[in-house]
Each structure stands twice: as structure tokens, then as C-alpha cells.
Amino acid sequence: MSSNPVLTKVALITGAAGGIGHALADAFMASGYTVLALDIADKPETLDCHHYIQADLSRYTAEEPYARGVNLQIFRLCNGRLDALINNAAIQVIQRVETITREDWQRTLNVNLLAPFFLTQALVSILAEAGGSVVNISSIHARLTKPQFVAYATSKAALSAMTRSMCLELGQRFRVNAIEPAAIETEMLKQGLVATEGAYEILKDYHPVGRIGSPNEVARATVWLCSNESSFTNGACVLVDGGISNALHDPT
């Protein structure tokens, strides 16, 4: 007696060329997914995935014909099946209120907020058919922030709010959750700290666990949110922050 073949689950990961993106691709590959990776950059030699889509998510949100082309690539490569959409791509503009530009704001909102929405919207039908999951990689800046992060923090706060709202409409078709990481050891983090001597050690020690997080820890939490083990978790914004969100910074 023949049995039905087991279909491989499919995951689409945006921002795959970065540090967290690499870890996400590795984790989903290790969990048996067919991985579609998307990024504006050329495919890194170190990135392991089944298919790579080079796309500009800022253009994706602003230009409908361009978006249709990207969507066609996704549908063709995933062969009409999508179990996990991981909206990880983000840009971080660090500018003071007095100097941040309209272009800074628009690019930040396009990539960090609008692209996750329009990708989810475009892929609703195949996510629903698979009973899949969307995970938005938000940030601790959605709750707690610091000077010069106004655009980034606003975009991430909106992304977390969008996660909660979308689960109300889509929750019976597929789940929508978010992860809000604190400091994660990526090149972007290191570059942001290089100008201040000792900043890395100060930031590390300020986390109650005594260290900065790893991209693999974000990736493992994301895989869990896409698994049946988290089947009752919907509309959640999960902190992966080493406890730093509980720390009161008191300069006195």
C-alpha cells in the first residue's frame, strides 16, 4: 500500500545576507525546510540556501510593477507552497531629530514596516493553504529606545503593533508573531559601537545574563515560533533580550 509523499516545508527569509539572516537560513535548513533567501546584496558565498532572490524591498513597497516581478519569482521558486515567512530585513538609520531626512524616514519605513506588510499580503493565499507562520523580526527598540534611534524605534514599534493586529484578521488561517531581540552580535552592532572605546564591554555587562546575544539564539526562537510546538502562540511579541528590558538605567 503506497503512502502519500511528505512535502518539504518552505521558508522565505528576508535580509538573509546579514548576520541574523545567515543564522536563520542555517536553522531552517537544519530543520528540513526548503529555504528561499532574499536580500538586496549579492549572495554571500557563506550563505547556505536552496534559492536566492536579489531584491530591493524599498522599491518593492514603492513600485507596484517591481513588486509583481518579485512576487512572481517567489511563487515560482516556492512552487505554490509557503510554510514560513520570516520578515528579517531591516535598516538602521542613526540620526538626531534635527538632522534626520525625509529619505531616511521613507527608506526606514519601507524596509522595516511596509515590506513585511506587503509581502504578507501578497503571500496570504499560500501561507493559509499551508497553515503556516509569519515571524516579524522586530526589536527591543519597539519598547525601549535611546537617542538618535527615532526612525528605527518607530518602525519597530509599528511592526510589533502590526503583528498583534494582523493576527486578529489572519489567526484562523495562519499565525503571525514577532521576536524583539536586544543586542545581538552582528557586524551591524559592532560597527555601531566601534566609535566609542569600551562600548562593547559596557553593553555586554549591562545585560543581566552578562553577555550579548547570538544570531543563533534569535534563529532558534524563530524556528520554534514556526513549529507545531508553539501552535497556540499567536500575535505574541517575544523578547529575546537577556533580561535587559528589566534593567532600570539610573544615572544617579
Measure CA 77 to chain center: 20
Q: Digits of tens for pLDDT over the chain (252 positions)? A: 434 455 699 999 999 999 999 999 999 999 999 999 999 999 999 999 999 999 999 999 999 999 999 999 999 999 999 999 999 999 999 999 999 999 999 999 999 999 999 999 999 999 999 999 999 999 999 999 999 999 999 999 999 999 999 999 999 999 999 999 999 998 878 777 777 888 888 889 989 999 999 999 999 999 999 999 999 999 999 999 999 999 987 654
Dist. CA 104–CA 46, nearest whole Å: 30
Q: Would you state the pLDDT for residue 2?
A: 39
> Which residues lie below 8 Å from residue 170, measured CB to CB, with a gap of 6+?
124, 128, 176
The answer to whether the predicted template modeling score (pTM) of the entire model surpasses 0.85 is yes
Measure CA 47 to chain center: 17
Residue with cell 540556501: 49
> Which residues lie below 8 Å from residue 183, measured CB to CB, with a gap of 6+?
189, 203, 204, 207, 212, 213, 242, 244
31: closest CA among 102, 86, 106, 96?
Answer: 86
| Catalytic sites, residue numbers | 152
Domains in the chain, ordered, with CATH? 10-243 (3.40.50.720)
Q: Would you state the pLDDT for residue 199?
A: 86
